[in-house]
Amino acid sequence: MPWIRRLSVAIGAVAVPNHRTMHDSVMPRLGGLAIFLSFMSAIAIFYSKLVPALPGFWALLIAACVIELVGVLDDVYTLSAKWKMLGQLIAASIVAFSGFTIDQIHIPFAYDIYFPGWFSILLTIFWIVGLINALNWIDGLDGLATGIAGISCLSLGIIAAITGNIPVLIISLTLLGSLAGFYLFNSEPASIFMGESGSAFLGFVLAVLSILGFKQAVFVSFIIPLLILGVPILDTLLAMVRRGLQGRPLYEADRGHVHHRLTDLGVSRRRTVYTLYAVSAFLGICAIILTKASNSAITLVMLLLLVALLILAGAQLVGIMKGKRSFYQVFRKLRRVRDEK
Indicate if the pLDDT at residue 9 is higher than 70.
yes
pLDDT averaged over the chain?
82
Contact 171, 209 (CB under 8 A): yes
Indicate if the pLDDT at residue 220 is higher than 60.
no
- Average pLDDT score over residue span 44-55: 89
Percent of the chain with pLDDT over 90: 42
Which of 126-135, 214-223, 275-284, 313-322 is most confident? 126-135
- State how far the Cα of 8 lies from the Cα of 14, in Å rounded to an integer: 6
Using DSSP bridges, classify how beta strands 104-106 and 14-15 pair: parallel, antiparallel or unpaired. Answer: unpaired
136 is in an annotated binding site: yes
How many other CB atoms are there within 10 angstroms of residue 304's CB atom?
10
- State how far the Cα of 322 lies from the Cα of 327, in Å rounded to an integer: 14
- Average pLDDT score over residue span 177-197: 93
- State how far the Cα of 67 lies from the Cα of 91, in Å rounded to an integer: 6
Indicate if the pLDDT at residue 41 is higher than 50.
yes
* pLDDT of 218: 41
- State how far the Cα of 180 lies from the Cα of 133, in Å rounded to an integer: 22
In 3D space, the residue among 221, 132, 205 whose CA is nearest the CA of residue 172 turns out to be 205
**261-283 tens-digit pLDDT:** 777 777 788 898 998 899 889 88
> pLDDT-derived band of residue 255, with 50, 70 and 90 as boundaries?
low
Question: In sequence order, what are the beta bridge partners of 105?
Answer: 113
> pLDDT-derived band of residue 217, with 50, 70 and 90 as boundaries?
very low
In this structure, is the dihedral angle defined by the CA atoms of residues 6, 7, 11 and 16, taken in order, positive or negative?
negative
Contact 269, 188 (CB under 8 A): yes
* pLDDT of 304: 65
Indicate if the pLDDT at residue 324 is higher than 50.
no
* pLDDT of 169: 94
Indicate if the pLDDT at residue 316 is higher than 60.
no
Cis peptide before 189 (omega within 30 of 0): yes
Q: What DSSP state is assigned to residue 216?
A: G
- State how far the Cα of 80 lies from the Cα of 10, in Å rounded to an integer: 22
> pLDDT-derived band of residue 325, with 50, 70 and 90 as boundaries?
very low
Indicate if the pLDDT at residue 145 is higher than 80.
yes
Indicate if the pLDDT at residue 199 is higher than 60.
yes
* pLDDT of 56: 87
> pLDDT-derived band of residue 197, with 50, 70 and 90 as boundaries?
very high
- Average pLDDT score over residue span 233-256: 72
Indicate if the pLDDT at residue 191 is higher than 80.
yes
* pLDDT of 291: 77
- State how far the Cα of 79 lies from the Cα of 266, in Å rounded to an integer: 33
94-125 CB burial, b ≥16 within 10 A, e <16: bbbebebbbbebbeeeeeeeebeeeebbebbb
- State how far the Cα of 128 lies from the Cα of 59, in Å rounded to an integer: 15
Q: Which residues lie closer than 8 Å to 71 by C-beta, 6 or more apart?
A: 32, 195, 196, 197, 198, 199, 200, 201
Indicate if the pLDDT at residue 297 is higher than 60.
no
- Average pLDDT score over residue span 234-259: 71
Lowest mean pLDDT among 29-38, 109-118, 256-265: 256-265
- State how far the Cα of 25 lies from the Cα of 3, in Å rounded to an integer: 20
- State how far the Cα of 15 lies from the Cα of 197, in Å rounded to an integer: 13
- State how far the Cα of 198 lies from the Cα of 30, in Å rounded to an integer: 8
Q: What share of the chain is helix, strand, coil (3-state, %, to 5)?
A: 70, 5, 25
- State how far the Cα of 189 lies from the Cα of 116, in Å rounded to an integer: 48
On the 0-12 / 13-18 / 19+ scale of CB atoms within 10 A, 8 is: buried
Indicate if the pLDDT at residue 78 is higher than 50.
yes
